[in-house]
Structure 1
């Protein structure tokens, strides 16, 4: 048991004396309520506001121009589609009008006949 007490004595160290800190006075800086702007700062604010306004107007006008261009493009696409459909219909009508059965019917009504001796094959 003596050894246990010895170990305790070796590990325990005396606590140093710490004195209480002396109260210090805190100096407070006085803050002025309003800062005055110099003429250069005022000029910067006015110029910055003017530039910002111009940029906003440019963005809005470019959006409007883009919208108008998209509208015109859609209108042109619709016209192209209509013309293509019309061309397809006209090509189909040409094919029907050039069919040999139709031409034979018209020839028989007019009193014409087809003779093989009068047919010539032409090649390029």
Structure 2
């Protein structure tokens, strides 16, 4: 109980200070139902901004479509190049097989021909 009285005594001994707040200047308030109108410059600015935004959106969409089309064409060309390269490799392998000396000697023997080293000529471009 003694502690409760001590706390009350300390609270009563502290000097109370008051801080004065500045007075507010009253301004005319706009009601919730009142709206400010737009002037001609603001209307023109909004219209131009909307037109520019629409044009930029169309440009972005058209560039994305163009990019997609270009990627499709590139993929198609890469596929054609790969097919032609594979075809060339296969043809070079067939040329090598057809030019093999064992095959040529076999065909020569079947047709009654013989190989004479004196009759062989090397031709270069």
TM-score per shorter chain, which class?
0.7 to 0.9
Q: Is it true that 1:94 corresponds to 2:108 in the alignment? A: no
Question: How far apart are 1:16 and its partner, in Å?
Answer: 8.6
In the superposition, the TM-score normalised over structure 1's length comes to: 0.74
Which stretch of structure 1 is more off in the superposition, 82-91 or 108-117?
108-117
Map 1:4-83 to 2 at 5 A: 21=20, 24=23, 27-32=26-31, 33-83=34-84
Question: Larger Cα Rg: Structure 1 or Structure 2?
Answer: 1
Task: State how far apart, in whole Å, the 1-side matches of 2:17 and 2:77 are.
Answer: 91
| Structure with bigger RCO (C-alpha 8 Å, 6+ apart) | 2
CA distances 1:74-96 after superposition (whole Å, capped 9, x unpaired) = 00000000000000000000000
Unpaired segments of 5 or more residues in structure 1? 1-14
Tell me the C-alpha RMSD between the 2 structures: 3.1
In the superposition, the TM-score normalised over structure 2's length comes to: 0.74
Which stretch of structure 1 is more off in the superposition, 82-91 or 111-120?
111-120
| Structure 1 residues 107 and 47, CA gap change in structure 2 (3 angstroms) | same
Structure 1 counterpart SS, 2:26: coil
Aligned length: 110
Unpaired segments of 5 or more residues in structure 2? 1-13
| Structure 1 residues 27 and 104, CA gap change in structure 2 (3 angstroms) | same
Question: How far apart are 1:40 and its partner, in Å?
Answer: 1.2
CA distances 1:88-115 after superposition (whole Å, capped 9, x unpaired) = 0000000000000000000000100113
